[in-house]
Structure 1
Amino acid sequence: MSLDVRKHEKFQHLEWRWQRAGWLLLTLFVLAGLLGLLGTGPLSWTTVNDGAVTVELDRVTRHEADDSITFVFGPEAVQDGTITAELTGDWPSGVDLSGISPEPSEQLLVPGGMVLEFMVDEPGETEVSLSFRAQRHGTLAAELAVGSDSVAFSQFVMP
């Protein structure tokens, strides 16, 4: 007595290809997470600078999560004892600022962003940290300008 079992070799080979593709996709996703492309990790942090302005930030942040960004102003950014920085783009409107350290002496809203003014007692680099929570998903881009120097940066906000 013999059993008549039909084999679908083409279907089996197709299923194996899809299975390998799924394993590859899963492996790439886990690797991206470990490297910091989906959150905190070695590749998540970046520094962008141009002249008197440097921005230190995470490339990826999460919606409604506490995060911070650091601006470093060189000595050439100081004019008459103050640093006047204009932050424009969709980043300022896409985040909820919870703190600025040190506190600016003046903070003004302008069309498309804000102007922050800091008093400087001693010449040298001035570091300013902004604490925030992202309020929108997707890419938030901005430009930070001090005098004739400006630097563009962006963050990707994940759910």
Structure 2
Amino acid sequence: MSHDEQRSRDYPVKEDMPWQRLEWRIQRVGYALLVLIVIAGACGVFSKGFLSDQQVSSSDGRMQVDYERFGRLDSNMDMNLHLHQLKGDYYQITMSGEQLDALQIQTLQPQPDEAWSDAHTLILRWLRRTGQQDATIWLSAQPQNYGRFTFTLQLDDSSQVKLTSLVYP
């Protein structure tokens, strides 16, 4: 006696094949979603990786910032500021944003000669060496809250960029 494997049956086990096929489809979709989540994580959608790396420049080209668009709560997020066409006796970076209080700066190199804060604003100032035209600042910060973080960075009183990062729990 030959049984059709795609038909519902009662013996030896009760099977409803339309429901069984639906379950198999759901399993295949679930496997595909899991593979996509793993690939997205490896590419940087949930933290460090090439999809997370972002670069923005000021309209006048004096400041370029490399930063991470995606981060994790209590995990370091790195930022590199490349400054060009420096002038005057000093140069200063002003960081401002409502979420600034939720960031804990882990490293800042080189150390500023002066630093102070004022209502959601952090101001960092370095003395400019004679003939110095360019500078690079490395900053690593650790978010203390999750959500969308939006900051404005300003070089001296002119060049400005806006950064947006999404921090996952």
Would the TM-score normalized by the shorter structure come out above 0.5? yes
TM range (shorter): 0.7 to 0.9
- The residue that corresponds to 2:73 in the other structure is 63
- How far does residue 5 in structure 1 lie from its aligned partner after superposition? 5.7
Determine if the alignment matches structure 1 residue 26 to structure 2 residue 59: no
- How far does residue 6 in structure 1 lie from its aligned partner after superposition? 4.7
In structure 2, which of residues 113, 130, 141 is the aligned counterpart of residue 105 of structure 1?
113
Rounded Cα–Cα distance in structure 2 between residues aligned with 1:53 and 1:46: 14
**Higher normalized strand content (fraction of residues):** 1
Q: Is the 8 A contact 1:45 1:57 kept in 2?
A: yes
- How far does residue 4 in structure 1 lie from its aligned partner after superposition? 7.5
Q: Is the 8 A contact 1:94 1:140 kept in 2?
A: no
Q: Percent identity?
A: 24
Deviation string, structure 1 residues 49-68 (Cα, Å, up to 9, x no partner) = 11211111122222222343
- How far does residue 93 in structure 1 lie from its aligned partner after superposition? 1.7
- The residue that corresponds to 2:101 in the other structure is 93
In structure 2, which of residues 136, 142, 164 is the aligned counterpart of residue 154 of structure 1?
164
Q: Is the 8 A contact 2:46 2:72 kept in 1?
A: no
Q: Is the 8 A contact 2:57 2:65 kept in 1?
A: yes
Stretches of structure 2 lacking an aligned partner (at least 5 in a row) = 1-9
- The residue that corresponds to 1:136 in the other structure is 145
2:36 maps to amino acid: L
CA distance 1:94–1:18, change in 2 (3 Å): same
Q: Is the 8 A contact 2:106 2:140 kept in 1?
A: yes
2:33 maps to amino acid: L
- The residue that corresponds to 1:15 in the other structure is 23
Aligned residues: 156
Superposition TM-score, scaled by structure 1 size? 0.85
